[in-house]
Structure 1
Amino acid sequence: MSIKHWPEQDRPREKLMAKGAEALSDAELLAIFLRVGIKGTSAVELARQAIMHFGGLRPLMSASKDEFCACAGFGEAKFVQLQAVQEMTKRHLNEQLVREDVFTSAELVKRYLKTHLQISQREVFAVLFLDSQNRLIQYKELFYGTIDAAVVYPREVVKEALKSNAAACILAHNHPSGVTEPSQADILITGKIKKALDLVDIRLLDHFIVGDGLPVSLAERGQV
């Protein structure tokens, strides 16, 4: 049955207007993005099939062009639209962090980091460099691969912080597994970077672990 024949309260667009985007399932949100289904399959059902095919919304959004376009009902136009939506979201949040005190906007920081790191299929270690008012100077990805003391160099973080004329930093990295629980290596490298930054009078405000759900703050756990 076509979506237009569904009860109004069950139609994704009408549901979003009535209850807000957070009330929709992943499939319903994707269906709004797709706009139409294919012959014999509604947009919502097509979205469900795609999410099952990729194993979730996160791997779907991080799929390569070839992987994305190989899915029934998808194509280059939709792939380009998705990239544009993701980039607009990043730029919108970036503009907010440039203007606002990051230290008092933890939820905004979490949203910002999710847009940059959540869909990555490899581990990425990044730093937010902040001015004396805790406003964003720049976001920079510094290290890739398995994040441990062997590949994350505190001196490189300090070097970039000095180059940016930063007064404070926030660390962040993702767990591609989706599990946000910090490892012992995460806690260890946080301590090493904090000590290195202390030597040049630059504050370390937090270290966020990004995965499924909300990022975990080590500062909130008293581990920074």
Structure 2
Amino acid sequence: MERISQWPQNERPREKLLQLGAHALSDAELLAIFLRTGTKGNHVVDLARQLIKTFGSISGIYQATEQQFCQANGLGQAKYVQLQACLEMTKRYLAEDLFTSDALTSSQQTKDYLIAQLRAEKHEVFAMLVLDNQHQIIAFEKMFFGTIDAAAVYPRVLVEKVLGLHGAAVILCHNHPSGLASPSRADLQITERIKHALSLIDVTVLDHIIVAGCRSYSFAEHGKL
């Protein structure tokens, strides 16, 4: 088997990244850099390709349980820990940018942050971003956890949380594990209930964002608020 060190320099993942930037690499090449070494009979890029095929995607690898991850050939607990650390660093990087900006003028940052927080959840999670009167984010709170189909959402609990954080506005969000980004009738109804409950304490619902895998749906952008 030909070693990667024998490949032309512009085809080796590390050198390619340094020359062209990370965006120029395929999913397998990026994963190969993370894995560093292959297995007997497989160089690291082949191993990365096999893993992506086994788990379906990079996202599938991130979402695998420790047991599922460690059962794959060429992986183990140390790599699982490293991968989870990379994922958490990504979340914190997105949070740093978002929490120091105006959420209303950083709509894509807001979506990216919420996607990172919720896309891996296998069951429905209802959360919210709480903002001050300058639309700076105070906190991100996961509030309710449901089955794969629905989450029981109680407006009174949301009101209590916003009051406790001295919030002036909120961005609601929840995920659709089904992968469908469009809102259901129940989503529309609960949004109206929450808007009414929060209006009684002069708190504005700025948006409700649905996360479905790597996609998102904004109620505000679709005129649903």
TM-score by shorter chain over 0.5: yes
Residues 51 and 179 of structure 1: is their aligned pair in 2 closer, same or farther, counting only changes over 3 Å? farther
Kindly state the Cα deviation for residue 11 of structure 1 after the two structures are TM-superposed.
2.8
The separation in 1 between residues aligned to 2:6 and 2:212, in whole angstroms, is: 37
Residues 222 and 17 of structure 1: is their aligned pair in 2 closer, same or farther, counting only changes over 3 Å? farther
Q: Provide the residue aligned with 1:30 in structure 2.
A: 31
Q: What does 1:189-204 correspond to in 2, within 5 Å?
A: 189-204=190-205
Question: What is the count of residue pairs matched by the alignment?
Answer: 224
Aligned CA RMSD, in angstroms, stands at 2.0
Q: Provide the residue aligned with 1:65 in structure 2.
A: 66
Counterpart of 1:131 in structure 2: which amino acid? D
Asked if the contact 2:144–2:151 (Cα under 8 Å) also holds between the matched residues in 1, the reply is: no
The separation in 1 between residues aligned to 2:47 and 2:162, in whole angstroms, is: 46
Kindly state the Cα deviation for residue 30 of structure 1 after the two structures are TM-superposed.
1.5
**1:105 and 2:101 aligned:** no
Q: Could you report, residue by residue, the CA deviation over 1:111-164 in whole angstroms, capped at 9, with x for unpaired residues? A: 211221111222111111111111111111111124888711122111111111
SS at match of 1:103: coil
Q: Provide the residue aligned with 1:96 in structure 2.
A: 97
The separation in 1 between residues aligned to 2:180 and 2:44, in whole angstroms, is: 30
Asked if the contact 2:126–2:144 (Cα under 8 Å) also holds between the matched residues in 1, the reply is: yes
Residues 172 and 150 of structure 1: is their aligned pair in 2 closer, same or farther, counting only changes over 3 Å? closer
Identity level (%): 51
Q: Provide the residue aligned with 1:144 in structure 2.
A: 145
Residues 70 and 163 of structure 1: is their aligned pair in 2 closer, same or farther, counting only changes over 3 Å? same
Normalising by structure 2, what TM-score?
0.90
Q: Could you report, residue by residue, the CA deviation over 1:17-51 in whole angstroms, capped at 9, with x for unpaired residues? A: 34433333322222221122112212222122112
Residues 209 and 55 of structure 1: is their aligned pair in 2 closer, same or farther, counting only changes over 3 Å? same
Question: Gaps (5+ residues) in structure 2?
Answer: none
Q: Provide the residue aligned with 1:174 in structure 2.
A: 175
Counterpart of 2:181 in structure 1: which amino acid? T
SS at match of 1:67: helix
Who wins on radius of gyration, i.e. which is larger?
2
Question: Gaps (5+ residues) in structure 1?
Answer: none
Asked if the contact 2:120–2:213 (Cα under 8 Å) also holds between the matched residues in 1, the reply is: no
Residues 28 and 143 of structure 1: is their aligned pair in 2 closer, same or farther, counting only changes over 3 Å? same
SS at match of 1:104: coil
